[in-house]
Each structure stands twice: as structure tokens, then as C-alpha cells.
Structure 1
Amino acid sequence: MAMVNEAGLTVGLDHISFEDVIRDAGVARSAVYRRWPYKDLFFSDLLKELAKGSSPVIGTGNQDALEAVKQTILDHLDWLKDPEQRRALAAEVLRKGALNEFETFYNSAEWRTYLALHTTFLSLPDGALRTEVQNTLAESERALNTRVAEAYERVTGLIGLRPRTGITFETLATLANATMRGLVVMAPANPRIATERVHADPFGAPEPADWSQPGLGLAAVVLTYLEPDPAPWDDARIAELRSLLESESWF
């Protein structure tokens, strides 16, 4: 145990055969070995590629999730006139979206690999490869956080919310991502994270609803740092928002 705690659990690709990769790719062995004279060079490049998080599952937005956000706002436009119910509307968006996001992470082999690399890359030998993987992960995270921050900024702006003084959307996205990933990592050993529901009204909605743990966690983090903007909402502003949401270019 002392040796494991000192060295850490390791990341490895020993279960993947270089010869099987060549065969399945359908390319000439001579061409492969010209590019990677040693299989360790290939696996080093593979680790760096995995660290980019460039899989479509990781690197692109979820159009279904955006449609769900739009519909949730349209269903609760009457909440916008009350500043506190605007926060409740943000909570409702997160209540419905968080479980979908959690399941996307939890059920995706690509996401599992990407998250595993975050937690184990320090087990790589100290040197250029570990530094490159670390830097690539950092760059990937900046890109992912930027996309989440932009989504939060767009949606909160639509419903009249803003970050509290000193808080940026990038900070909000980083904390939200960390919360969701923590739940994803814990869920295999604690399945209740995925299945438990709590019938409650923790964020001031007119009626209680069924909340998942991912929904509660994400909404608690995000709403801590959001406040209503002072601009009032009237029927004309709500009608303008409805028209925007029903257009093709709302996001």
C-alpha cells in the first residue's frame, strides 16, 4: 500500500496490441514502422491524442440538450416577472439538463477514458511525455470550459440573470464541470447517485419536483453565484424572448 500511495495508480495501454492496431487499421506494417519505429512511440502519441478530448462525443455540443433548454424556458415564461423565480427557472433548466449531462458522461467510453487520463497521467514517468500530456489536458479543459461558459452566459442572459460581482462565467463553468465529473467518478461505486430522486423545492419554484443528485449538485453550485439583473420584465419583453426562442438562431 505504501508503494502504491507513493507511485500512484498507473495509466497504461498494455492491453492494446500494436500489431492488432496495424491489422485493424488496414495499413502496411512498413508504413507504420517508418512513422513509429518503436511501439512505445506510437503509444506515447496515442496518449497525447486521447488528452486532446477531440472525440465528437467530447468535443461537440449536445443539440438535444439545447432543445430541452429552449423548451423549458418556453414552458415557464410566466416565471420571468419575479426576480427570484428567474433563479428558479435557471434551477429548472439545470434540474432537467443535469441528469442528461450526467448520463452522457457516465455512458460514454470516450468520456470515461478522458476522465481516467486526468486522474492517472501523473503516474507517467517524469519527463517530456508527462509534461506534454499535462499541457494537452490543460488546453482541452480550457476549450471545454469556454464552451460551457459561453452556454451559461447565453442562457442566463436570456432569462435575466448575471454572475455575482467578481465571479466570471469561466469560474462558474469550471466549478460546474468539477461537480459533475466528481459525481460521474463516484457513481460506479455508489449507484444511488444515478437513481435516487428527492421530491423537493430547494430553489423557490412554485411547486416541488423530483430532483436527481446531479441536478441538486449542479444547481446548488451554479445558483450560488447567480443573481437577478435589475432590468424589469414586462409582457413586451417576454413576447420578444418567445419570438427569439421560436426562431432558428436563438443560441
Structure 2
Amino acid sequence: MLCASFELVREGALQDFLSIHGSTEWRTYLALHATFQGLPDGELREEVGEVLARSEQNFVAGIAAAYERLTALLGYRLRPDAGVTFETVALLTGATLRGLVTTALSTPDVATRRVSAAPFGGAEAAEWSLPSLGIATTLFAFLEPDPGIEWDDDRAAKVRRALEAEEWESG
């Protein structure tokens, strides 16, 4: 299931990047962050800061919950010695994605550049986008196969059905 997991991250991270990169809502969010930094100290700055902080916490919590469900489904767990939570991983992957989206606004080839790579000991090289490499590197730095999961045909079929039905998204 290892190769399938990499492929899921490779494709999923690119789709997340493209969705954010093309989003006018995202650009508005970036503009609001930039505006917040320029607001003078006072009540308005505090209110805007609180709203942005809540928005960020909700975003990270949602991504963390999705990562937790997806890793369990795919037979992974956080490495016990990593000292991180799914919230930490979500914060780091979100920052990676945001940084690349922001960079792509002025350097468009960030969105289209591909590298032929076989990261994480993969057997075959594949075309990886920069967002996919960044997200996968962060995820797999903190994840490991769960030794308590036994892979057999029934489990593989269950995972395939869940991914096709996107059951993991709704919990």
C-alpha cells in the first residue's frame, strides 16, 4: 500500500495547490493577512487578528482531522518518536502549500514545474510537482506504517471502496 499512498499524496497535493492557486477567495485571504499587518494598534487590529486566528485554527483542525482519518485508513500512524500531532503536521503542510501558492503568484512556473523523481525509496520515477514533493516530504517525515495493521485482500478492498466513496472525508 506504500506506493498507492505516495500516489495519493502526489495527486492530492497537486489538486489542493491548483484549487488554492486559482481561488479568488484565497487571494482575498492573503490580502486580508497583508492588510492586517499594516493596521495600526487598536481595537480594529485586535478584532481582525482574532478572526484570522480563529480561521487559521479551524483550517488547521480540519486538515489535521482529515490527515488522521486518511492515515488510519491507509495503515499509517504518526511516528511515536516524532513528538508531533496531526495539528503540527497540518500546520506545516499548510505553510508549505501557502508558501508555494504565494511564490507562484510572481513566479508562475512553480505551478507547472515537474521533476522526475522516485522519492522515499520508490521503485519507479514519476512526475512530481513542487507542491506534491513539499507536502509528501513533510507528511512522510512524520508518518510510518502502523505495525498493528495487517494487510490482506479484504483490507485492501475496504480501503479502495472507502477512497472511491470518499468515506474517509466524512469520518
Pairwise same-fold verdict (TM > 0.5): yes
Matches within 5 A, 1:38-117: 80=1, 86=2, 88-117=3-32
Q: How far does residue 195 in structure 1 lie from its aligned partner after superposition?
A: 1.3
Equivalent-residue separation in structure 2 for 1:222 and 1:250 (angstroms): 18
| Change beyond 3 A, Cα 1:250–1:183 | closer
1:124 partnered with 2:39: yes
Give the equivalent residue in structure 1 for 2:122.
205
Q: Secondary structure at the match of 1:126?
A: coil
Question: Structure 2 regions of 5+ residues with no counterpart?
Answer: none
Return the letter of the residue paired with 2:11.
K
Structure 1 position 238 matched with structure 2 position 153 = no
Counterpart contact for 1:89–1:205, Cα < 8 Å:
no
Give the paired residue count: 166
Say whether the 8 Å CA contact 2:70–2:168 is kept in structure 1.
no
Deviation, 1:125, is 1.3
Contact 1:90 1:156 in 2 (8 A): no
Distance 1:143 1:206 in 2: 38
**Separation in 2, partners of 1:138, 1:93:** 30
CA contact (8 A) 2:115 2:128 kept: yes
Q: What is the distance in 1 between the residues matched to 2:79 and 2:28?
A: 35
Q: 1:171 aligns to what?
A: 88
Whether 2:98 is the aligned partner of 1:181: answer: yes
- Unmatched 5+ residue regions in structure 1? 1-79, 81-85
The answer to which of 115-124 and 166-175 deviates more is 115-124
* Kept in 2: contact 1:201–1:208 (CA 8 A): yes
- 1:146 pairs with 2:61: yes
Q: TM-score, normalised by structure 2?
A: 0.88
Q: CA RMSD for the aligned pairs?
A: 1.8
**Is the contact between residue 176 and residue 218 of structure 1 (CA under 8 Å) also seen in structure 2?**
yes
Q: Equivalent residue of 2:11, what SS?
A: helix
Per mean C-alpha deviation after superposition, the further-off stretch among 200-209 and 234-243 is 234-243
The answer on whether the counterparts of 2:96 and 2:134 sit within 8 Å (CA) in structure 1 is yes
Q: Deviations over 1:204-249 (max 9, x none)?
A: 3332110111111111111111111102312232233344445574
Given that 1:91 and 1:223 are in contact with CA atoms closer than 8 Å, whether structure 2 keeps it comes out as: no
